[in-house]
Amino acid sequence: MKGGAEKAWLSQMFNDSYTDEEWNNFMNDFVGNYYMFMKDNSVAYICLDWRRNHELIKVIKDNGFKLSNVIVRDKVVHGL
């Protein structure tokens, strides 16, 4: 690992330290900025862990997107 780091591969993806409020602010900022810079009639693909899907859908709708489909990928092996 780079710099002698002892963390497992992809460990930064788990156990983040966001509070619920910080997470909601992050998602609203991200989706709001995404929407603001898109051209009319564009399509967006936003990937997120399925366990937070209910949060993402609300934020998408609250920030002006028209939700037409939700794609759920069934990954058998994490990291591929």
For residue 74, the enclosing domain spans: 40-80
Does any domain span residue 32? no
Does any domain span residue 52? yes
**Percent of the chain's residues with pLDDT above 90:** 26
Does any domain span residue 29? no
Where residue 1 falls among pLDDT bands split at 50, 70, 90? very low
Does any domain span residue 79? yes
pLDDT at 4 over 70: no
**This prediction's pTM:** 0.65
Does any domain span residue 64? yes
pLDDT at 49 over 70: yes
Mean pLDDT of the region 36-65: 88
Which conformational region is residue 2 in: left (phi greater than 0), alpha (psi within -120 to 50 degrees), or beta? Answer: beta
* Domains in the chain, number: 1
Does any domain span residue 59? yes
Q: Which helix (H) or strand (E) holds 26?
A: helix 20-37
Does any domain span residue 55? yes
Does any domain span residue 5? no
Where residue 25 falls among pLDDT bands split at 50, 70, 90? very high
